[in-house]
Amino acid sequence: MSKKLALITGASSGIGKSFAEQLAEEGYNLILVARRKQKLEDLAEKLSKKFSTESQIVVADLSELEQIKNVVDIINSLDSIDILINNAGFGLSSGFAEGNAERQLDMVKVHVLASFSLCRAVIPVMLKRNEGLVINVSSISGLMIKYGDVTYTATKSFLIVLSEALQEELRKTDIRIHALCPGMTYSEFHDTEDLENFDRSSVPKGLWMSSSEVVRKSLKAARKGKTVYVPGFLNRVSLFFSNIALIRKISQWFIERKN
């Protein structure tokens, strides 16, 4: 029997790389997508030696529409695919009005347009066999609208709503949609130019998780049928308290409006 197949975007580092490693260990073949070819090649070679994984490398900048289309074409050419992981992403630190408009638009393309397009391509292929798993890597910021960068929060919220609505439409099938909402995770995310002023030590150590732990918990929750998932007890606690703070603000606003 041929091996199962997973396509992972943003597979060159962090959470995407951990998904590749854990799925390779489970026996999947992989399609690895990202911009840094060398990193993808090194990963593919390592997984081939360790688990006999066959990997197809796709070098694509998902902020370019033509390159999103190339990945869509690859999916359209497949007879079957078992897992799609829309993971590629990055952060921004400036405010909405003063931030770099081009980078904000890139973010909309990478987080929203690419993920939407790959979901749209993969679901008809999965429906042929009535099974599959799609993981959209969102963020805890997508559930905490009050506290994040506007573009990041809005694009990550889109992924949560997309996942919930799509799962509802597919409820009579064996296709599972899972929005993974990590909190602070060790990866290259905070090392990019876009977040150059970020200081990791400003966040308490206990709130950080490793990429491999996030992925292990996500795969387990996804297979149990959890549609929206926040890994880590402390992340869930902080989400709970931030929502209480939000509810308090909203009630305060209603009371002030009435008076």
Q: Which residues are catalytic?
A: 152, 156
Could you say whether residue 24 binds ligand NAP (CB under 6 A)? no
Could you say whether residue 117 binds ligand NAP (CB under 6 A)? no
CB distance 17 to 11 below 8 Å? yes
Could you say whether residue 218 binds ligand NAP (CB under 6 A)? no
Identify the residue among 136, 139, 151, 238 touching ligand NAP (CB under 6 A): 139
CB of 53 vs ligand NAP, minimal distance in Å:
17
Identify the residue among 188, 226, 234, 242 touching ligand NAP (CB under 6 A): 188
Segment near ligand NAP (CB under 6 A), from 22-30, 92-100, 184-192, 223-231?
184-192
Contacts of 219 (CB under 8 A, 6+ apart): 19, 22, 23
Segment near ligand NAP (CB under 6 A), from 57-65, 118-126, 229-237, 241-249?
57-65
Q: How many residues bind ligand NAP (CB under 6 A)?
A: 29
CB of 159 vs ligand NAP, minimal distance in Å:
9
Identify the residue among 13, 104, 151, 238 touching ligand NAP (CB under 6 A): 13
Could you say whether residue 228 binds ligand NAP (CB under 6 A)? no
Residues 240, 195: Cα–Cα separation, whole Å: 26
**Residues lying near ligand NAP in the complex (CB under 6 A):** 10-16, 34-36, 39, 60-63, 87-90, 110, 137, 139, 182, 184-185, 187-189, 211
